[in-house]
Amino acid sequence: MIGPIGITLEQADENFHFMIDLTADQKVCWKISTPSGSVMLVPVNEITPVSNEIQDQVEEFRKSFLEKDAA
């Protein structure tokens, strides 16, 4: 990840689409200074959810393990 790169609200307004592209493609973080404080523009890692089939398999394994442990 790169940054955060500090810019003003006016700069962010003028270059918003460019900033979004850099954030998404190059993982750039931005610190945007506003008259009332600062905000951040950061990339978000997308995590694919675990399929229901795998969740069911894990639950079956957990139950089997606990039954063996209890015996």
**pLDDT, tens digit (0-9, with 9 covering 90-100), for 6-58:** 999 999 999 999 999 999 988 999 999 999 999 999 998 888 888 999 999 99
Determine contact, residues 24/1, Cβ cutoff 8 Å: no
Domain ranges of the chain: 2-70
Question: How many other CB atoms sit within 10 Å of the CB of residue 8?
Answer: 12
Instruction: Write down the CATH number for the domain with range 2-70.
Output: 3.40.1620
Q: How far apart are CA 30 and CA 52, in angstroms?
A: 37
- Inform me whether the pLDDT recorded for 70 exceeds 90: no
Question: How many other CB atoms sit within 10 Å of the CB of residue 28?
Answer: 19
Instruction: Using pLDDT thresholds of 50, 70 and 90, give the confidence band for residue 71.
Output: low
